């Protein structure tokens, strides 16, 4: 039985933070000040992006804001919309705090005079009691969904063991318990852990007609029947066999079972590095960014990634050794296919190799990896442009139109520090038919080969080839900004 369950949803907007911005009642703020507040927030978002770039280059945030100028990331430091300098300080939990003192230029205040604070994770706001309750309700639902995602992966492992039993003994086992044995090594321990669901109940094997079977999870209450969180769900033989064949192919290829979400793999390796240095699993993903916990005092990583749809990952810890990081896909619900499919890492039932000195940030000579990251970023931008079309009826005129959809309300740069190029495409009648999103590659110039080649996709997230690069060189699109 799993001795305890610890679940944490990694949300940038944390409750109980000190130094959060005071509330603002827009009905009490003049139109002129509302414009200045909006412009100030836009400037803070861009400054925060520059600070994150500095952090990637120098492996730490600067002691003073003027370091952005001395490091040539900025020519001059901007001021807020009231013509005052921003205040800046490093912060152990939030990376840094950038502050505008509002219309009155004094700390604190309400409405137009309220301070505007920005950190590594975006704007910091106070929450009303109703907002806090709504956020906790959302967290709790995502915790449950993450449980379901882990359960489905484990049920496939149990089903695979049943298939192995049938293959070796020419008969099905009487129950799932018959498949369990005293684990002799780490691989067997990983498989044995999959027989108990996230709520501490054992899965059931049900033999069906026509030599079929199903693996059953009884839901949160561990009892047959029920609804909502207590509802039962099953994994069919078809799903198990499909995964079984995939695992067999992976074994033939050397046992590599990694998923294609590099962000979640980053987090898993960071959790393992944290355990190795701090001698325990983190209680929350935020602990990975907190300095002072390791012997050398350095944080394990500078920030926490979001998935390609801008959603936070869910961290679930079932014991002192067993943990998972879960991505719930675009719909934020367990199950689903395509963009809605779940990602669980490490893979339940598998002992994956660890990378002792693995660094999630690509080194300067790993431009092939940077190209992969650029493609994922471009797909993320395309998703947000398509969301805009669904909501507004047309694609955005520029990336600046949808900047509020990104963390910190800033369109990300590609892994080489250059802006993505966004261009609307026209059909034969001159009407807008879609768009392209392009990274100019390592050299930042049109065209090129290898890692200097353009990386471009269209509104359907289809990769575009040399024809696109040549046409772009003849008529380079205007960059957003």
Give the Cα separation of 203 and 219 in Å (integer): 10
pLDDT tens, position by position, 23-71: 555 667 888 898 999 999 989 988 988 998 888 788 889 999 999 999 9
Q: Residue with structure tokens 């370091």? A: 67
As a whole number, mean pLDDT of residues 450-471 equals 76
> Residue 3 — very low, low, confident or very high, per pLDDT cuts 50/70/90?
very low
Note the pLDDT tens digit of each residue in 280-328.
Answer: 999 999 888 777 788 887 778 867 788 888 788 999 999 999 999 999 9
Q: Which residues pair with 327 in a beta bridge?
A: 343
Radius of gyration from C-alpha coordinates of the chain:
25
- Confidence at 363, pLDDT banded by 50, 70, 90: very low
Residue 370: pLDDT band by 50, 70, 90 thresholds? confident
Return the top range by mean pLDDT from 349-353, 423-427, 461-465: 423-427
pTM > 0.85: yes or no? no
Burial class (CB in 10 A: 0-12, 13-18, 19+), 223: exposed
pLDDT given at position 27: 64
The H helix count followed by the E strand count for the chain is 8, 15
**What pLDDT sits at residue 243?**
66
pLDDT the model gives residue 410: 82
Tokens of 218: 């009884």
> Does residue 240 or residue 168 have the better pLDDT?
168
Query: For 248-293, what is each residue's pLDDT tens digit?
Result: 555 544 444 456 688 898 899 999 999 999 999 999 998 887 777 8
| Architecture of the 26-125 domain | 2-Layer Sandwich (3.30)
How confident is the model over 409-450, as pLDDT tens digits?
A: 788 888 888 899 999 999 888 899 999 999 998 888 888 888
Q: In whole numbers, what is the pLDDT of the chain averaged over residues?
A: 82
């Amino acid at each position: 039985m799993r001795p305890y369950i610890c679940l944490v949803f990694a949300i940038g907007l944390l409750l109980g933070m000190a130094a959060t911005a005071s509330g603002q009642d827009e009905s009490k703020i003049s139109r002129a000040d509302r414009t200045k507040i909006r412009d100030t927030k836009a400037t803070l978002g861009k400054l925060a992006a520059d600070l994150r770039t500095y952090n990637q280059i120098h492996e730490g945030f600067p002691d003073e804001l003027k370091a952005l100028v001395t490091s040539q990331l900025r020519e001059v430091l901007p001021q807020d919309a009231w013509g005052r300098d921003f205040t800046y300080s490093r912060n152990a939990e939030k990376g840094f705090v950038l502050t505008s003192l509002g219309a009155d230029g004094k700390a604190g205040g309400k409405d137009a005079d309220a301070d505007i604070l920005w950190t590594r994770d975006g704007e910091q706001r106070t929450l009303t009691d109703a907002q806090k309750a709504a956020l906790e309700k959302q967290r709790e639902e995502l915790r449950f969904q993450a449980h379901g995602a882990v359960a489905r992966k484990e049920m496939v492992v149990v089903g695979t063991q049943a298939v192995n039993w049938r293959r070796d003994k020419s008969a099905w086992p009487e129950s799932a318990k018959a498949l369990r044995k005293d684990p002799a090594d780490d691989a067997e321990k990983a498989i044995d852990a999959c027989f108990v669901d996230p709520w501490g109940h054992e899965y059931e094997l049900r033999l069906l007609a026509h030599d079929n079977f199903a693996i059953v999870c009884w839901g949160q209450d561990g009892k047959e029947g029920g609804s909502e969180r207590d509802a039962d769900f099953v994994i069919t033989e078809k799903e198990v066999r499909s995964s079984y064949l995939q695992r067999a192919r992976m074994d033939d290829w050397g046992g590599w079972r990694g998923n294609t979400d590099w962000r979640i793999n980053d987090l898993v390796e960071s959790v393992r590095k944290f355990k190795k240095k701090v001698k325990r699993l983190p209680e929350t993903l935020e602990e990975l960014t907190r300095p002072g916990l390791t012997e050398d005092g350095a944080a394990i990583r500078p920030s926490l990634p979001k998935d390609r749809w801008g959603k936070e990952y869910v961290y679930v810890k079932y014991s002192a050794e067993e943990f998972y990081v879960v991505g719930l896909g675009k719909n934020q619900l367990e199950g689903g296919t395509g963009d809605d499919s779940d990602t669980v890492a490490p893979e339940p039932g598998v002992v994956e190799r660890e990378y002792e000195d693995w660094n999630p940030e690509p080194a300067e000579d790993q431009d092939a990896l940077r190209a992969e990251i650029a493609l994922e970023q471009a797909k993320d931008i395309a998703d947000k442009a398509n969301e805009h079309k669904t909501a507004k009826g047309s694609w955005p005129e520029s990336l600046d139109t949808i900047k509020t959809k990104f963390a910190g309300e800033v369109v990300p740069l590609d892994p080489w520090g250059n802006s993505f190029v966004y261009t609307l495409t026209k059909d034969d009648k001159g009407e807008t038919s879609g768009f392209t999103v392009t990274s100019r590659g390592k050299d930042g110039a049109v065209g090129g080969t290898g890692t200097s080649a353009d990386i471009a996709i269209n509104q359907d997230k289809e990769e575009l080839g040399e024809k696109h690069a040549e046409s772009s060189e003849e008529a380079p699109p205007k960059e957003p900004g």
